[in-house]
Structure 1
Amino acid sequence: MAVRFLPDLGVIGLLSTTAIGLLTTVLVYRFFFDGLRGVPGPYICRLTSLWIWYRSYSGDECTTIDRLHKLYGPVIRIGPNEVVISDGAALAPIYVEKGGFMKAPCYSNFDIEGHSTIFSTLDPAHRSVRSKAVVPAFSMTSIRSGQDRIEECVAKLVARLESDAARSRTLSQQSGRSQPVNVLNLTRSLALDAVSSYLFGQSFEGISEKGDRMSANLFVDTLVAVGRFFFLPNQVFLAFELARERFWPDQEVNESAKKVDDFAATLVQGEQGDASLYQARLLKAGISAHEVEVQCKDLIFAGTDSTGTTLATMIWHLAKRPDIYKLLREEVAGADAKDIFYNPQSLRVLDAVVLEGLRVAMANPTRFPRTVPPQGFNFDSNGKQYFLPGGTQVGLQVYTLHLNPTVFPEPLAFKPERWLEDPSPDMQRDYIPFGMGARQCIARNLATTELFLAVRAIARSNVLEGAQAVGEKIEMMEWFNSKIVGEKIELLWQ
């Protein structure tokens, strides 16, 4: 005779009651007693971060948070322990004053091969050793002394763009069909070549590669895609990455990563004759060869993605604004006629184009989360007081600041002329393409120099004469590093 084991209904009842009790306790605490109970936001955000993590994965996190600000106000709660602020008055106390708040733990998700990078490390002392070693390479004095290496890369970009434009025009005329050029691939190639030539003393030679995709693109795109998981707890993030590598390997991505790995490995092999090179500075500071390779790969990723995307965005918008392009060409021609050794950053129209390009491109559109110190953070916005307890994660997102219609009228429009007038104090305060404070982008001077030199050279060449921008807008996925949908920003010459 079979024996049936019946569940103990008393145990099941006890477990159910306990679960309901715990859930009720959490609900009561989150809604009535926790330190962020006075901060408005969707009710689900009081209970879990799953909703905002899903929005990040979906690529519409920034627009979602922007809508929440319009609905709830300048200070909103997007998770049980996370707040986002849209009022630029919060920038200084969070990111600048007294060194700013510490980076949130999620930054460690951007560690590479077990090493914290200058960008990802949470430990100021760990960062200090490395940043002090390389900061001189990013000074404007050093960059100007090595500007010829960047200019050589820019000249190759212009020559490639002229060649591709001529081919596009010829094929369009012969076939009667559009033959667009993906300028994003070219600008990424320039960014990588400029970074590697100037900092490493050895060009990656991306501009010289044939085809529509630079060999390093898949490596860069893979790291960009990691940004959709940026805000996850580190252990959860690592589990996702392990599962991706094990169950969804990609041979093309692996080949691209190997080429970057091999390139980085050559940078630390043998004697480093030039002590000014980035890798030599780190090795001299006592950093291991493997970590130096990692730091170099981090720069390859960051420089290629952010500067390349921004320059392609500028070129696309200039094709849509022939009036601004005409003013730019006239300004550059006038300056060239007077002094070939002038500083391009002294040109007002060129400066305005770069400023506006950085504003609309938003290579990092999302928030830069920080951890509130133990004493808490008091913030007054529009006469309302908010207190954030110690340990709360807080930040401001670039998307909301750069597209604030009160500060930047017609925020979606590319209008360099807004910078030719007297920029308002709020414009200057809320403009943060490189972050701000002690942890802002270490390579900002190099990136802006590349942009100035490239846009000036494009204006000189007049390669955009007759160019048409493809598409009504540039669509992006709003991850920590924005991803251009389709990995294409295209121009057409007819």
Structure 2
Amino acid sequence: MMEKLETHLKSLPDASALSSKLSDLVDILIANWKVIALVSPVAFLAYGLLLAVYRLFLSPLAGFPGSKIAAATAWYEFYFDVVKRGRYYYKISEMHDQFGPIIRINPWELSVRDPSFHSTLYVAGSVRRSQIFPQSRAGIGIDGSHPVSEDHDLHRIRRKPLDPFFSRRQVQNYEYMIAEELKVLDDRLRSLRGSNVVVNMEHVYAAITGDVIGKISVMNPPSFVTEPDFSPGWHAVLYRFFAQITLYTHFTFLMGWLRLLPRSVLLTLTPGAAGFKAFTDLIVDHIDEAKRHRLSGKSIETGQQKTLIEHLLDSDMPESEKETSRLTGEFIAILSGGTMTTARALSTVTYFVLADPNIERQLRESLEESMRGYPDKIPRWADLEKIPYLHACVKEGLRMSHGSMRRVPRCSPDVELQYKEFTIPKGTPVGMSAYMMHTDAEVFPEPFSFRPERWLGNYNPLMNRSYIPFSKGSRNCLGMNFAYAELYMALAVMFRPSGPKMALFETDETDVIPVHDIFLAVPKLDSKGMRVTFI
């Protein structure tokens, strides 16, 4: 062995010879620095021009209509996404107006604005394999989670143990816990009656939805509803997380770099990233605690529900899928998504109900019988769904809050897709937007008006086809049932006849109607929130 090692060492170049060659190379570079300085930008420009020519004339997508600048460079999308703070969805809509129902929106992606195509694009796993476009979710800090799992089969492995936990039947088992949290919230809001204290309802709803998703997910979760001012810091951490996502998707390396920095440095550079790091560290602590609890052999007490972490650790997923790093991304996705989208929908409904006395009167009257015995008698989610006017308010609130305004691109890796005369190549990302479908005036007249009555009686069946707040297909929103349960139960408590009476405080519809797409549909960026006083 030693002889082989000595022979190998002797065959290596002499260190002094290597040093001499490197020195010669440096001398050449220094002597020709002017030439290099001139050639480098020219070469870069030539590369850019050749790339643009390929994308415009030789790419498999070259024959699709759309803006030439959008097809030539991703910087066009970057400008509207990052500089204009989440306004590319609106530009895409304008391009559809100009170029038609199917357009190219960047060098590699198509967008379709036609509700009839939605069921073709977003299909169940039994119909065909469906993959996400990785660049649309890369670099956002939830690596390893099921929403960003590109491969169809890997996504199925990761989502399979989650589906039973978030099924309608399982959510019904957690209704008691949702009701308990809402009772705590109701007591606190009623104590504010006549106090003239201004309350940001976005903080309130982020607190209650955060408490609910936290309680089912981890052991010993925090209680945001009982914290001062309903824990505005919790809302701020999540809002800043979403606000930075668009930048991270364009520069996917940034999140990895930021994770390497100490929290004290992050606080100076970017407070949003510092808060997200603290949030991530907290999730890691919860996962490690659950693993220690599992290794200790302690059993769950009789009648106690498993947390989501315990459920996943006890599932038949491969052990590699139970690594802390992967589960961290999974829980960031579940906790952030399960908090903010539902909170936004609740804020939307609350504003429009309070802004129209007639709507508020009808909603309170519709809840009179079912909520008469509250809190001693709490109606079930299934019973609340049967109240027509409440049902209409929930659907209209979800339609106007969208969930996400951003298109949700899907790739068909095995077969071509056909849209009218256009054949879409295999593997091409194609996206459709809830915003465009929810604001289609042909399906929803006066689309920016809150009209619960549009969902009552014999309404246009095309409304159901165009209603996609949770997307559809094999990759639809995991937490849909939890969101519905929270919406029905929370609105029933808030607007029951004997519930807390609210008045809007310096708030108008511009504080609610989404105009920016930051992976979360949000109103104007300088909004102070949906604020009320209790009377």
TM-score if structure 2 supplies the norm length? 0.79
Matching residue of 2:182? 154
**CA–CA separation in structure 2 for the residues paired with 1:318 and 1:32:** 52
Q: Which amino acid aligns with 1:300?
A: L
| Displacement of 1:199 | 4.2
Q: Is the 8 A contact 2:248 2:254 kept in 1?
A: no
Does the alignment pair 1:312 with 2:366? no
1:300-346 deviation digits (Å, cap 9, x = unpaired) = 21111111111112111111122122111111112346996452111
Shift of 1:388: 2.1
Structure 1 counterpart of 2:309: 279
Q: 1:106–1:25: structure 2 CA closer, same or farther, 3 Å change rule? A: closer
Counterpart position of 1:95: 122
Structure 1 residue 255: Cα displacement? 4.9
Change in Cα spacing, 1:27 to 1:197, as seen in structure 2 (3 Å) is closer
> Displacement, 1:236?
7.0
Which residue does the alignment assign to 1:232? 250
The answer to whether the 8 A contact 2:238-2:276 is kept is no
Shift of 1:466: 5.2
Matches within 5 A, 1:211-226: 211=229, 213-226=231-244
Pairwise CA distance, 1:461: 5.3
Structure 2: 5+ residue runs without aligned partners? 1-29
Q: What letter corresponds to residue 391 of structure 1 in structure 2?
A: G
| 1:47-126 alignment, distance < 5 Å | 47-57=72-82, 58-96=85-123, 98-99=127-128, 101-109=130-138, 112=141, 115-126=143-154
Contact 1:230–1:480 (8 Å) recurs in 2: no
The verdict on how the C-alpha distance between 1:85 and 1:305 changes in structure 2, with shifts beyond 3 A counting, is: same
The total of aligned residue pairs comes to 475
Q: Cα gap change, 1:185/1:73 in structure 2, threshold over 3 Å: closer, same or farther?
A: same
Q: Which stretch shows the higher mean deviation, 188-197 or 456-465?
A: 456-465
Higher relative contact order (CA 8 A, sep 6+): 1
1:210-236 per-position Cα deviation (integer Å, ceiling 9, x unaligned): 135444333312321232236437457
Give per-residue Cα distances to partners, 1:380-403, cap 9 Å, x unaligned: 2xxxx2222223221001111111
Distance 2:493 2:393 in 1: 13
Match of 1:172 in 2: none
Q: Tell me if structure 1 keeps the 8 A contact 2:371–2:492.
A: no
Q: Distance in 2 between matches of 1:268 and 1:65?
A: 46
* Contact 2:122–2:473 (CA under 8 A) maintained in structure 1: yes
Q: How far did 1:416 drift?
A: 1.0
Q: Which residue does 2:63 correspond to in 1?
A: 38
In the superposition, relative to structure 1, how do residues 424 and 59 fare at CA in structure 2: closer, same or farther (>3 Å)?
same
Q: Matched residues in 1 for 2:33 and 2:159: separation?
A: 62
Residue 351, structure 1, aligned to residue 369, structure 2? no
Aligned to 2:26: none
Q: Could you report, residue by residue, the CA deviation over 1:384-438 in whole angstroms, capped at 9, with x for unpaired residues?
A: x222222322100111111111111111111111111333232111111111101
Partner residue of 2:508? 471
1:206 pairs with 2:224? yes
Question: Is this contact kept in 2: 1:192–1:304, CA < 8 A?
Answer: yes
Secondary structure, counterpart of 1:53 in structure 2: helix
Residue 20 of structure 2 is matched in structure 1 by: none
> Structure 2: how far apart are the matches of 1:107 and 1:427?
28
After alignment, is 431-440 or 56-65 more displaced?
56-65
Structure 2 SS opposite 1:346:
coil
Q: Is the 8 A contact 1:204 1:263 kept in 2?
A: no
- 1:365 equivalent to 2:405? Answer yes
Deviations 1:257-307 (A, max 9, x none): 555554555444414615643111110124536244443333221111111
Q: Distance in 2 between matches of 1:236 and 1:255?
A: 17
d(CA) in 1 for partners of 2:349 and 2:396? 8
The CA deviation at 1:362 is 1.9
* Distance (whole Å) between structure 2 residues aligned to residue 289 and residue 24 of structure 1: 44
Aligned to 2:529: 488
TM-score by length of 1: 0.85
SS in 1 for 2:477: coil
Against the structure 1 CA distance between its residues 443 and 110, is the aligned structure 2 distance closer, same or farther, given a 3 Å change threshold? farther
Q: Deviations over 1:345-373 (max 9, x none)?
A: 11111111111111111231110012243
Question: Which one is further off, 62-71 or 291-300?
Answer: 291-300
The question of whether the paired residues in 1 share the 8 Å contact of 2:66 and 2:99 is answered with yes
Question: What does 1:12-31 align with in structure 2 at a 5 Å threshold?
Answer: 25-31=50-56
* Residue identity matched to 1:351: H
Equivalent position amino acid for 2:66 in 1: G
Work out which of the two has the higher radius of gyration on C-alpha atoms and give 1 or 2.
Answer: 2
**Residue pair 2:139, 2:253 contacting (<8 A) in 1 also:** no
Q: Name the % identity.
A: 22
Asked whether the equivalents of residues 30 and 47 of structure 1 are also in contact (C-alpha less than 8 Å), the reply is yes
1:182 — aligned with what?
Answer: 200
* Alpha-carbon distance in 2 for matches of 1:19, 1:129: 43
Aligned residue in 2 for 1:288:
322
CA distance in structure 2 between the aligned counterparts of 1:334 and 1:74, rounded to whole angstroms? 47
Which whole-Å CA distance do the structure 2 matches of 1:466 and 1:112 have between them? 38
2:214 corresponds to which letter in structure 1?
A: S
In the alignment, structure 1 residue 193 sits paired with structure 2 residue 193: no
Q: Could you tell me how far apart the structure 2 residues matched to 1:189 and 1:68 are?
A: 38
CA distance in 2, matches of 1:242, 1:63: 35
